[in-house]
Amino acid sequence: MAKELFSLAEKIKLLREHIKLTQSDLARQMGLTRSSVNAWEMGLSVPSTQYIVELAKTFGVSTDYLLGMETGATINVEGLSEEKVALVVELVEQLKK
């Protein structure tokens, strides 16, 4: 199965929508204007290093993932029991099939 490769702009939009934030919500959270977030998502501009780090934290992914250096994303399992972590791993493996 081929892996889908998304641009930084596409990742920002998909990840933002996944956590149910509007462009305005994300902009407000990061101390920016909505038009700045829109420009990132349209590929008209690129977030600075500072904002790449903030986006990674907000979305729960690595900066490497956002920048296309790795194709895998990370999942924060902090606070989950070992049993629940095992269930997450099992679910991911099932989804890969």
Which pLDDT tens digits describe the chain residue by residue (97 residues)? Answer: 344 578 999 999 999 999 999 999 999 999 999 999 999 999 999 999 999 999 999 998 889 889 988 766 677 788 989 999 889 888 988 998 8
pTM of the model: 0.70
- pLDDT at position 76, please? 78
- pLDDT at position 92, please? 86
- pLDDT at position 73, please? 65
Which tokens sit at 94?
Answer: 């099932």
As a whole number of angstroms, the distance between CA 61 and CA 73 comes to 6
Q: Which CATH superfamily is domain 8-96 in?
A: lambda repressor-like DNA-binding domains (1.10.260.40)
As a whole number of angstroms, the distance between CA 59 and CA 67 comes to 13
Residue whose C-alpha is closest to residue 40's, from 20, 11, 69, 68 = 11
The domain ranges of the chain are 8-96
Which tokens sit at 86?
Answer: 């095992």
